[in-house]
Amino acid sequence: MGIDQKPPAGQKALIFEQIELAKEKVQDSQVWKSIFRPGSPFRKGYRDTSRDRALAMMNNLLYHLHPVKLKRHGLKLTYTYCLGGLSFFLFVILTITGIYLMFFYRPAAEVTAQLAYADMKDLSAAIVFGQLVRNMHRWAAHLMVLSVFLHMARVFYHGAYKPPREFNWVVGVNLLQITLLLSFTGYLLPWDQLAIWAVTVGTNMMGYTPVFGRQLKFILVGGLEVGPATLIRWYVLHVLALPFVAVLLMAVHFWRIRKDGGISGPL
């Protein structure tokens, strides 16, 4: 039979029957059943009932982010403008580009060897995709501050901070603070004049915090004035401590959206 020739009707039915048999065999295997849990549309015996639809939502990691039942308007782009989703997307971009930068950047600065500054220069001029990835990291950071702020404004204007979402609003406020802190700690890392003096001004301002201002400044600066100790402290905060807290808070934030009944209703 040539490529352009169609199989006769009987042969076609036989091919379909064999495909069905093979599909059943795969679906009956333990490997398949261990991955696709009861209620999954890919599992044998799935029926389009409310129970199976609810199970499909609950048993899939990605669908699980949504409540079992969604309000129709919650799916409208013009209700949320997906600003929260956009903030998360930018966070993912920042993580990926940040890991790339970590391969080339050393957070060290001494009088004799300003490694951080030299590495930053190399990233801009000598390293494959260095300039591109560094700029993507910078732009995504600026955009994330903007998108988180706009997301907060959207939530406020929809009154979505009211019960039952007041706890998630507080989680959000903490996420905003972490976003700003990530931005600020990243600012020191190029170790150029702009960074050093901006952080000197910033930490001096922190020194005026009531009651424990001096202690706070001492911990963040790692001494009495901005220097190599500050750089390593802010580096660890920037690449480890703050992202860790951000991921934890985001997990709680997303889980609460689901548990609070999905996106809030129109005013």
Binding site for ligand HEM (CB under 6 A): 80, 82-85, 87-88, 148, 151-152, 155, 158, 160-161, 165, 168-169, 172-173, 175-176, 179, 250, 253, 257, 263-264
Q: Which CB, 37 or 66, lies closer to ligand HEM?
A: 66
As measured in angstroms, the least distance from the Cβ of 89 to ligand HEM is 9
Query: Considering the complex, what minimum distance in angstroms separates the CB of residue 219 from ligand HEM?
Result: 25
Looking at the Cβ atoms of 1 and 62, the one nearer to ligand HEM is 62
Nearest residue (CB) to ligand HEM, 83 versus 127: 83
Whether 220 contacts 233, CB under 8 Å: yes
φ, ψ of residue 163 to 5 degrees: the values are -50, 140
* Helix, strand, or coil (residue 247): helix
CB of 53 or CB of 256, closer to ligand HEM: 256
Buried b (16+ CB within 10 A) or exposed e, 124-137: eeebeebeebbebb
Q: Which is nearer to ligand HEM, 68 or 108 (CB)?
A: 68
Q: How far is the CB of 138 from ligand HEM (least distance, A)?
A: 18
Minimum distance between the CB of residue 169 and ligand HEM, rounded to whole angstroms?
Answer: 5
Q: Least separation, in Å, of the C-beta of 93 and ligand HEM?
A: 12
Write the Ramachandran bin of 263: left for phi over 0, alpha for psi from -120 to 50, otherwise beta: beta
CB-wise, 41 or 265, nearer to ligand HEM? 265
> Among residues 120 and 257, whose Cβ is nearest to ligand HEM?
257
Q: Tell which residue, 222, 223, 217, 227, has the closest CA to residue 196.
A: 227
* Amino acid type, 27: Q
Give Cα separations from 34 to 31, 43, 60 (angstroms).
5, 10, 13
Structure tokens at 62: 């990605």
Q: Name the residue among 180, 182, 176, 188 with its Cα closest to residue 226.
A: 188
The residue with its CB nearest to ligand HEM is 172
Q: Find how far residue 27's CA is from the centre of its chain.
A: 34
- 246 Cβ partners below 8 Å, 6+ apart? 91, 175, 178, 179, 182
| Residue 61 Cβ vs ligand HEM, minimum distance, rounded to whole Å | 15
In whole angstroms, the minimum distance from the beta carbon of 220 to ligand HEM comes to: 22
